[in-house]
Amino acid sequence: MTNQETIFSKIIRREIPANIVYEDDLALAFKDVNPQAPVHILVIPKKPIAKLADADAQDAALLGHLLLTAKRVAQEAGLKNGYRVVINTDADGGQTVYHLHLHILGGRQMAWPPG
């Protein structure tokens, strides 16, 4: 699937509401509307990369920035005992919104393997 308009583009442009917890020039973080853990925050790039499989070498710094943003957001959410960062990618990965996003899940013990 190629880059296209998604609900996350509308959140970036403030066309629909979201509970935004962090923003900078490159990234936005907001609470997941259907949380799967006591803390469930999404970190997205403002650049509309549809999925991880579409990222390339030009995106290396941006991808690093998203991970460091996840770390920062998790710290600010008080996840002292740890947390999980997930990127669902394309159909088999269970991706439903085609704008790259990192799930930060925490506040409970995570299970492995995931479903």
Residue of 40, 99, 101, 103 marked catalytic = 101
- Cβ-based nearer residue to ligand AMP, 34 or 81: 34
Minimum gap (Å) between residue 84 Cβ and ligand AMP: 13
CB-based burial label for 77 (10 Å; 0-12, 13-18, 19+): buried
| Interface map 7-46 toward ligand AMP (x if CB under 6 A) | x----------x-----------x-xxx-------x----
Distance of CA 1 to the CA centre of its chain: 18
- Cβ-based nearer residue to ligand AMP, 8 or 79: 8
Q: How far separated are the first and last CA of the chain, in Å rounded?
A: 24
Query: In sequence order, which residues have a C-beta less than 8 Å from that of residue 28 and are 6 or more positions away?
Result: 11, 12, 20, 22, 43, 44, 46
Tell me if residue 99 is catalytic: no
Residue 86's DSSP bridge partners are 103
Binding-site ranges for ligand AMP (CB under 6 A): 7, 18, 30, 32-34, 42, 88, 94-97
Catalytic center residues: 101
